[in-house]
Amino acid sequence: MLNIINTLALIYPKTEKKPVVDTYFNTEVTDNYRWLEDDRSVETKDWVKAQNKVTFNYLNQISYRDQLKNRLASLWNYEKIGTPFIEGDYTYFSKNNGLQNQSVIYRTIDNSEPEIFLDPNTFSKDGTTSLGALSFSKDGKTAAYSISEGGSDWRKIIIIDVVSKKQKEPVIVDVKFSGISWYKNEGFYYSSYDKPTGSELSAKTDQHKLYYHKLGTSQEDDIVIFGEKTSEKHRYIGGYVTEDNRFLIITAQISTSGNKLFIKDLSEEKSTLKPIIETLESDTYVIDNKASTLFLATNLNAPNKKVVTVDFSNPTPKNWQDFIPETEHVLAISKGANYLFANYMVDAVSKVFQYNFNGEFIREISLPGIGSVTGFGGKIEAKELYFSFTNYNTPNSSYKFNPENGSYQTYWKPKVAFNTDDYISKQVFYPSKDGTKIPMIITHKKGIELNGKNPTILYGYGGFNVSLTPSFSIANLVWMEQGGVYAVANLRGGGEYGKKWHNAGIKLKKQNVFDDFIAAAEFLIDSKYTSSEFLAIRGGSNGGLLVGAILTQKPTLAKVALPAVGVLDMLRYHTFTAGAGWAYDYGTANDNKEMFEYLKGYSPVHNVKKGIAYPATLITTGDHDDRVVPAHSFKFAAELQEKQTGKNPTLIRIETNAGHGAGTPIAKTIAQFADIFGFTLFNMGFKKLPNKLKDR
C-alpha cells in the first residue's frame, strides 16, 4: 500500500525505502529505490498512479493551464506538408491537416488528385502507434514500413504491395534501432537484438545483428549477415545498399561515437566482407560510389569532417585521397541529382556549397536567411531537389531547387497565425568558467524591457556530438507570446564545432558542460534578460541529466527546473537497454575508481541532499521509454520529494503509452507543453498569464 507523508508544500505519495548496497572500488553506495526499476511490478505501477494523481491535482489548480492548451492547439492547427519524393510511378509526401496526432503519407501519379497511402492515425485508437521508417523496393512496387507502439523503440515491419496497399506477408517483429534498406526488388536488410529475458522495456540489449529478409520467406529464415559471431559483437549494427545495388555497407559500433566500416560486393556471388576501417576512432560512412570508386565522409584525423575517395580494391585509410578537405567548420554531406552538397555549420547556422563528382566547386547556394538548412538529397536521376529552412522565429518552409543553375522557388510555406517580424533572434558569445567562448541564441518578442523580470527558459543538451541549430517551435512561440525569453546555449559535448568540441565535454570533462550552462544562465541574469526568480532550466535525455546536475550543484540558480526523460542515475545507466552504448560520452562506474568517483560526484540521483531548497521541479518521462528508462526519473523524484526543504513543489509527470519522444501524438504533446509552461509561470509567481490570450 502507498501511504502519504506530509511536506511543507505538498502531500506526496510515500516512496518506501528498500536499501540495496553496491560496492564500487571498496566504496559502498546505497540505493534505496532500486525497486522502482522493475517496470512490471504492481508496486511500481501503483507508485506511478499515485504520483500522477498528486501531479495532476496540482496542475489542475493553475487557472490558465487550459488557456495555454487552447492557444497551443490554435497555433498548432495549421497544415504541414513534407517535401516530396519519387518512388516508382508515384510521388509521395507527408501531410498533417493541423492537429492530427500523426502525419499522413499521401501519393499522386501524373499530377492526379493526391490519395492517402498510409494513415498512421488508423494504426491505433489513441494515436500512440506511429510510423517509423518507410522504404521502397528499387522498382517502387513494394514498400516496407516500421511502426512503434506506445513510443517503444521496439518496432514491427509491415510489407505491402504499393498499388493495392495490401499486406503481402506476415509482420516482421522484434526489430530495434533499424533502418530498412532494399536490395533490388528481392528483399531488404534490417537490424535487431535477440528479445531480452525479463522486461523488454528495461532489460539490457547488447548484441545487435544485421539480417537479410528475402521476400516470400519467413522471418525465421532471415539470414544473419553480421553480428552473430563473438568476434562481430557490437551494440549497434547497420546495413545499407548503395544506389546502384552493387555494394552492401555495414557499420558496427560499441558506443554512440566511433564505428567500424565494412563493404561487400553484391555483384559477386562469393564475395566476402571487406574491412574499410577496423578501428573505432572515427565516424566514417560511405556516401556514394561511382563504379568501384567510393566516396566517404569521415572525421578520421579531421575533427570537422571531410570527404575522401578510395577504390574498392583496397579501401583502407592509407589509400584515401582528400576530395573535399576539412575546413574550420563542421561538415555534413548529402547527395542528389549527381551532385554533392556540403552543408557547413558556421557558429551553429548553415552554409551550403555544391560540388560535382569530379571534385569541382559549382556554387555557394544563397539561402533564404540565417538559420538551419536540411535536404538536397535525392536519386542520381533527379531533375529537381528540395531543401528546408527554419530558424527560431521562422516556421519550417520547403523549397524546390534546380541543381543545374542553383535557382530555387518556394515549394511550401506554412500559414501560421503569427507575425514573424514581431520577434527577434540574436546570437551572443559568453565566457564559460575556464574562459572558453560559448555561443547562445536568444529569441524573444521585440521591445521587451531588460529589467530582470522576463520569464526565461534556458535550454541545453551538451552531449553525443549533437548540434542544437536554429529551429522553429509552436510551443516556444506560445512561450514568447507571454513575454517569455527562449535561450539555447551550444554547450561543449555537442557537435557545433566538431569532434574536439564534443570531446571537451565527455567522461572526466563532463563538468565543462555543466559549467557552460551555468555561465549561460549567469549571462542572461547579468544582462538583465531575467533573474534567478524568473529563470527556468530545461533539457531532455542527456539534457535531462544536464538539468538534474545543475539543480543539485547550484540549486539557487533557477526558480524552475524541467528535466525531461533524463539520464539521472549515472552509476547504473549502462545496465538498462542499450545504455552501455553511451559510455563514450559518460564512462561507467565500473571503469576505474577515478571514473566511478567522478560519476558519483555529479550523478543527480546521488547528489540530492537534505536541508536544501531545490527549485520548483517538474520531471517528465514516459512509461514506455525504453531508451532512457523511466526508473531514472522515478528515483530522482523520490530523492527530491524526501529531501526537499521549503515550499517549492517537486513533481513527476509520467505520460502513459509514451516513450522517449519520437512519434508522440500531437494531443499528448500539446497537453504536456501546457502543463510545463503553466507549472513554470505559476512557480514564477504569475497568478494570471503575463499577456492575456485572445480567444481565437
- At which residue does the C-alpha cell 561511382 appear? 290
For residue 43, report the phi and psi dihedrals to the nearest 5 degrees.
Answer: -60, -45
Q: Which residue matches cell numbers 578520421?
A: 300
* DSSP structure string for 319-334: G-EEEE---SSEEEEE
Entry field: residues in the chain: 696
Catalytic residue among 334, 541, 603, 633: 541
Measured between alpha carbons, how far is 521 from 529 in angstroms, rounded to an integer?
Answer: 10
SS3 sequence of 649-694: CEEEEEECCCCCCCCCCHHHHHHHHHHHHHHHHHHCCCCCCCCCCC
Measured between alpha carbons, how far is residue 331 from residues 77, 469, 490 in Å?
35, 14, 17
Phi and psi at 588, nearest 5°, equal -130, 160
Residue type, 433: K
Please tell me the distance from the alpha carbon of residue 99 to that of residue 561, in angstroms, as a whole number: 29
**Assigned C-alpha cell, 30:** 546505497
Q: Specify the 3-state DSSP secondary structure of 391.
A: strand
Burial class of residue 110 (count of CB atoms within 10 Å of its CB; 0-12, 13-18, 19+): exposed
The SS3 of residue 156 is strand
Question: Quick count: other Cβ atoms within 10 Å of Cβ 252?
Answer: 22
- Alpha-carbon span 313 to 333, nearest angstrom: 24
Whole-angstrom distance, CA of residue 611 vs CA of residue 305? 48
Distance CA 621, CA 692 (A): 30
3-state secondary structure of 539: strand
660 given a catalytic annotation:
yes
As a whole number of angstroms, the distance between CA 388 and CA 382 comes to 17
How many CB atoms are located within 10 Å of the residue 394 CB?
A: 22
Secondary structure of residue 540 in the 3-state scheme: strand
Torsion of CA 425, 431, 432, 434, to 10 degrees: 160
Residue of 574, 624, 632, 660 with catalytic role: 660
What phi, psi does 96 have (nearest 5°)?
A: -130, 125
Active site residues: 541, 660
